[in-house]
Structure 1
């Protein structure tokens, strides 16, 4: 991943609770709770973290609780994740034991009807 100059990384600790949308060009690591939408380059969500809102990122590694839609180019859902919402991705890895209540769709399919999206998205299941 290329970036302008020095790479920026922001961490929200487990004692942090945010209400409102987060927009960052930086990479984010969230262990606390967020009520609002998150838009960033790269997101790492800790096991104790909870997000109520939509997530949009180039890459995301999710391990906590999420209530909302997720759109990511590269998405990794770890076994501790509990997701309620639709998931849009280009490349997807799901560890055995992850819980997802929602639909999975390739990101190109967001603008198409199911009959039009005949492409084969990449899917990997980690054990």
Structure 2
């Protein structure tokens, strides 16, 4: 991923509690509480932060609590993190002591499962004649 020279970094402080989805083209640092889905380029979550919702990011560094699924190309789960939800990743690092309740799946496997669940177009269904 090429970095932009004019990229910005948004910070949500520990005194903030947000209810609703967050979409950011910039990098995001969250120390507060978020109840909603988060979509951003890069996410850094502080130890005091609680996110209830799905996280989608190119890269994520999680140190707080997440109640929801996580999808990231590069994911780092720090020892202070508590994750309750499924984790989809390309590259994964977990520090000793981190707590994760959920399933891990490489994003390639997730894509293959989705493709397998799709009905095959052009193949007729077999039917038994009476």
The match for 1:106 is 106
1:54-112 Cα shifts (integer Å, max 9, x gaps): 00000000000000000000000000000000000000000000000000000111132
**1:35 aligned residue:** 35
Larger Rg: 2
Bigger strand share: 1
Displacement of 1:2 = 2.3
Q: Which runs of 5+ in 1 are unaligned?
A: 117-127
String of CA shifts for 1:8-48, please: whole Å, max 9, x gaps.
00000000000000000000000000000000000000000
Aligned to 2:127: none
Number of aligned pairs?
114
Runs of 4 or more above 2 Å deviation:
1-5
Q: Secondary structure at the match of 1:108?
A: helix
Larger helix share, 1 or 2: 2
What is the TM-score normalised by the length of structure 2?
Answer: 0.84
Alignment pair present for 1:97 and 2:97? yes
* 1:78 aligned residue: 78
RMSD: 1.2
**2-structure distance, mates of 1:43, 1:4:** 16
Taking the aligned partners of 1:4 and 1:93, their CA distance within structure 2 comes to 25
